[in-house]
Amino acid sequence: MTKYSFLLLLLLSGVRTMGQTTDSLQVNFKLYFHQSPLELGQKYITNTNDTVSIATFKCYISAIEIQYADTTVFKETNSYHLLDSESPESFRIPITRQNGQPVTKVTFSVGVDSIANTSGALAGALDPVKGMYWAWQSGYINMKVEGQSSSCNTRKHQFQFHLGGYLPPFNALRRKEIVLNSKEDSNVIIKIDLASFFSNIRLAETPSVMIPGKPAMELANQSITMFSPE
């Protein structure tokens, strides 16, 4: 090995080492139903005794803020992420750590803000091809939960909950704060428990919510209780 080849090898090794330092952080979301990791198509029993199987879960996570033990805060720019149960990698969100301090708090919005809504359909996670855009009048769907239950007197016993709306008085955007016990590693894990989403729903009475309005607002309030630290 020549001297120049050896120097090049050292340089490349240093680049790899730098890439493995604590300058990055990953926020991981995990789907649950009660205490069990959620499996699509698996049957679960809700708190209201409905038997449900989940076929689709999609949810926008936006405006992510990371607070560190030294009270500094990192705010992600252009912060729009779509969690999609059909795409497991979408539940892993890389975030710049900024410093080596432990993470004490993660704050984020569930849904899409009015700025993005009034800008019209955008690209990336906000691309209408993702199936989360109604129209310019009503904007984006913040959260989508679909599946089947024998309690539903609907075609194929389907339930559909599409929560959204950005115009007052029916703005369904919600903010969630997750307090952590000084996470020092490079992964933050946040549970999403869909059992909490269904805890006040009786599917025989309400098998769907598909437009902005009071029912969507009530479910948006309930939806943020799904998120908790693992």
Query: pLDDT digit string (tens) for 203-216?
Result: 999 999 999 999 99
- pLDDT for 19 equals 38
Query: pLDDT digit string (tens) for 143-159?
Result: 999 999 999 999 999 99
Give 10-residue mean pLDDT values along the chain (230 residues): 46 39 78 96 97 98 94 92 97 81 93 91 91 89 98 97 96 96 78 97 97 96 95
- pLDDT for 190 equals 96
The pTM of this model reads 0.87
- pLDDT for 101 equals 81
Nearest CA among 211, 128, 112, 122 for reference residue 170: 211
Q: End-to-end distance of the chain based on CA atoms, in angstroms?
A: 49
